[in-house]
Amino acid sequence: MPAFDDIAADFAFIDDWDEKYRYIIDLGKNLPELSEAERSEDNKVRGCASQVWLVFDQTDPVVAFRGDSDAAIVKGLVALMISLFSGKSKDEVRALDAEAKLAEIDLREHITPQRSNGVASMIKRIKAEAST
């Protein structure tokens, strides 16, 4: 998974939002599949219109997680969250202003309110896991 700053740099070169959506979908296609057992209620993110699962593989001192969704664009949004948060310390995850980082790529302006709520739910869940 590319670093978020690399994704943001790629976004800067893509003018058309249809192309940016395809890029987000392609990011999601590169995620490893979760097992059926990992697609559990415990791993499900509440507040997403599509089904989203996040599996946390916390190996101190960094937070690492994997995820999946049943919708292609949302799976790409999961990939964005992984690129933004994975590999950081718990303190870095808690301190990260995810909204500001996502504003760098104008994401909120170009996704539906339901998907925007889903992204907020993913961020909330990730930060909660970093607080344990």
Active site residues: 48
State the Cα–Cα distance between residues 63 and 59, nearest whole angstrom.
6
- Cα dihedral sign for 86, 94, 53, 77? negative
Please classify residue 29 by burial: count the beta carbons closer than 10 Å to its beta carbon, then call 0-12 exposed, 13-18 middle and 19+ buried: exposed
Tracing tokens 């999601």 back to the chain, one arrives at: 28
Helix ranges (DSSP H) in the chain = 4-13, 17-29, 72-85, 90-95, 98-103, 107-110, 113-130
